[in-house]
Amino acid sequence: MHGKCRVLILDDHADEADSLGEVIKLEGHDVRVCYAAVDALGVAAEFRPEVCVLDIGLPDFDGRDVARALRAMCGPGQLLIALSGHVMARDVAAAARMAGFDHYLPKPADITELLALFPQR
């Protein structure tokens, strides 16, 4: 098992966000779940997450804009993982990388694959 990380989850679909958060908590991580980008940026300023799992398609912001804001706020040491309900097209994954995401996963996220991306301690 990986060491404990501070993890921020942002997804406007509350059930998906909460379910993912609960599974990650069961793995021993400290998790905060947000459903709106503005809330996530506020939480990130205080919580200083080491891992951020962000939905790209949000109603209030584009997830790529949130990624850029998090990078500016928290620096390059933070792991940013994009989730999207869209088919994993090359252009979507490339856009996610250009926005500063480290990884891109299609929804629903494979929890084993997601957790394997977390920093090892």
Segment-wise mean pLDDT, segments of 10 residues, the chain, 121 residues: 83 95 96 96 94 88 85 84 71 64 86 92 64
Q: Which residues partner with 104 through β-bridges?
A: 82
Structure token digits, residue 94: 């490339």
pTM score over 0.85? yes
Q: Given this model, what pLDDT does residue 47 score?
A: 94
Rounded (5°) CA angle 66-9-82:
55
- The residue ranges of every structural domain in the chain are 6-116
- Inter-axis angle of helices 37-47 and 63-74, nearest 10: 20
* CATH code that applies to domain 6-116: 3.40.50.2300
Q: Given this model, what pLDDT does residue 90 score?
A: 58
